[in-house]
Structure 1
Amino acid sequence: MATIDGLPPLRDVIATHGLSAKKALGQNFLLDLNLTAKIARLAGDMSACDVLEIGPGPGGLTRGLLAEGARRVLAIEKDARCMPALAEIAAVYPGRLEVINGDALEVDPLAHLTPPIRVAANLPYNVGTELLVRWLTPAEWPPFWESLTLMFQKEVAERITAAPGSKAYGRLALLAQWRADPRIVLSLPPEAFTPAPKVSSAVVHLTALPAPRFEADPKVLERVVAMAFNQRRKMLRAALKGLVPDLEDRLIASGIEPTDRAETVSLEQFCALARAVKAG
């Protein structure tokens, strides 16, 4: 069967190189090259961008990113078994694919990338949320990336994009929506993957905002939000007890009723409360 880049279908690649998915590495391979090309297109115009990919596995999305015109791709893969398959892709796209065999939580990709940079990845389930939080909480903003196009378990994707009042709304939604514009752009059933996971998946596209949506000190905001959602069923006057001496006055000044619960409070209100807390 012919493919767009002349390389074998992914099932053949996996068979040739003995790449059975490892649960310990959070691996679920997406084998449909039409789908990987679609995800690559959802990342936007990459012709003038370097692209960071985490966990390429046998290289389905890698091939999509390169075929769709990415200027250059840096792929970080922990599983050494995948290196020969990725080397075959690199040979078809000379000078456009660099592969690092390492742990994405430990490798600094910036030494290998030239801005502008986009991130696109079918993230391993066991490190996906941790990587997202790192990318959303750099020491300085704007971050190194212009956009993130990331595959998550659907439940995590819904937590990233949740609105106030919903069960999924919490710390992850506030973190993502404070500094980025996240939206779910594609949903995928378990059977799209090999092996099929027990849950559905979704691709979230996050565009970095030039500045946070509302003014707030990041550390103060994180502390307020963490306290509020650690006891999300409690009224805020109880959940935030001890945060500041005159808590109820500051809640009211921020447009929040002391009897409100965290899941009903908007991002703008949390930022106003963070400013009120920092003011002393």
Structure 2
Amino acid sequence: MATIDGLPPLRDVITQHGLSARKSLGQNFLLDLNLTAKIARQAGDLSNCDVLEIGPGPGGLTRGLLAEGARKVLAIEKDHRCLAPLAEIAAAYPDRLEVIEGDALDIDPLAYLTPPIRIAANLPYNVGTELLVRWLTPPQWPPFWQSLTLMFQREVAERIVAQPGSKAYGRLALLASWRADARIVISLPPEAFTPAPKVSSAVVHLTALPEPRYPADPKVLERVVAKAFNQRRKMLRAALKGLAPDLEDRLIASGITPTDRAETVGLEQFCALARNITAG
């Protein structure tokens, strides 16, 4: 597909604006508009939604989201060079694309968006995990977003959807499964990008649950999980030492054998342990 909206192909846009990808910004551009449209479709029916996009670059996914009918796209872009091509897209979709120059870690998007809100992004590799954790751990739940459709390195995507007992299972999988349904919906080889990264990529779609799967204090659960997986090869009675005076009793009361290792313990047991620790 050369174009989906009367705008030039992305390779021409990059050439015209001198947009060589910068490693310092975690940039790898996805230039195939067939693929960006496919990713946009994974976000679902966007006709009644505002969409937050982080790191749009030259606007491939932006164009896909708008072509798929997004009510509005708010694109946050750190690279000043990308503002001109994004402005051209905004002109082609009057009043439907707003671009903010800045760091997504420092900007509150809610001032610019109207619910319902979905997030879709080919996340810069250097901030992707931090943004996901922020979106999964807000002070209040349900969050401001209905769903997340996000591209990561394949290894990170597998960590998000991992099950107990697997090497990829850890903090990300627990945070994601506690409050969302997560699945990998698209896999992409390195050669799909310019420049080609050294690793494969994958798109993960997460749908927010109306409430967490099991009750637990978010801060306590986060502390328990972080401590458990920080020393994942240790038995939990050692990895969690100091978390509570009668730790072994609390582990057993939570359905966890003190000699278990973190990677074998499921979400329900971690939530039970967090509740037992909160109870004092």
The TM-score by the shorter chain falls in which range? over 0.9
Asked if 1:57 is matched to 2:57, the reply is: yes
Cα separation, 2, equivalents of 1:126 and 1:118: 22
Letter in 2 for 1:156: V
* Contact 2:2 2:33 survives alignment (8 Å): no
Cα separation, 2, equivalents of 1:128 and 1:208: 18
Give the match for residue 84 of structure 2. 84
Measured after TM superposition, the shift of residue 247 of structure 1 is 1.2
User: Could you tell me the TM-score, scaled by structure 2's length?
Assistant: 0.99
- SS of the residue 1:146 aligns to: strand
Letter in 2 for 1:162: A
* Contact 2:152 2:201 survives alignment (8 Å): yes
Give the alignment of 1:27-46 within 5 angstroms: 27-46=27-46
- SS of the residue 2:257 aligns to: coil
Cα separation, 2, equivalents of 1:33 and 1:114: 27
Measured after TM superposition, the shift of residue 2 of structure 1 is 5.1
Give the match for residue 68 of structure 2. 68
Give the match for residue 260 of structure 1. 260
Q: Note the alpha carbon deviations across 1:59-118, whole angstroms, 9 max, x for none.
A: 000000000110110000000101110011011100000001111111111100000000
Cα separation, 2, equivalents of 1:226 and 1:73: 34
Give the match for residue 208 of structure 2. 208
* Percent identity between the two aligned chains: 86
Give the alignment of 1:218-237 within 5 angstroms: 218-237=218-237
Give the match for residue 21 of structure 2. 21
Measured after TM superposition, the shift of residue 121 of structure 1 is 0.2
Aligned length: 280
Regions of 4+ moved over 3 Å = none
- SS of the residue 1:273 aligns to: helix
User: Could you tell me the TM-score, scaled by structure 1's length?
Assistant: 0.99
Q: Note the alpha carbon deviations across 1:14-65, whole angstroms, 9 max, x for none.
A: 0001001011000000000000000000000000000000000000000000
* Structure 2, unaligned runs of 5 or more: none
Give the match for residue 151 of structure 1. 151
Cα separation, 2, equivalents of 1:228 and 1:236: 6
The CA RMSD measured in Å over matched residues stands at: 0.8
Cα separation, 1, equivalents of 2:2 and 2:207: 35
Q: Note the alpha carbon deviations across 1:115-145, whole angstroms, 9 max, x for none.
A: 0000000000000001001111111111000
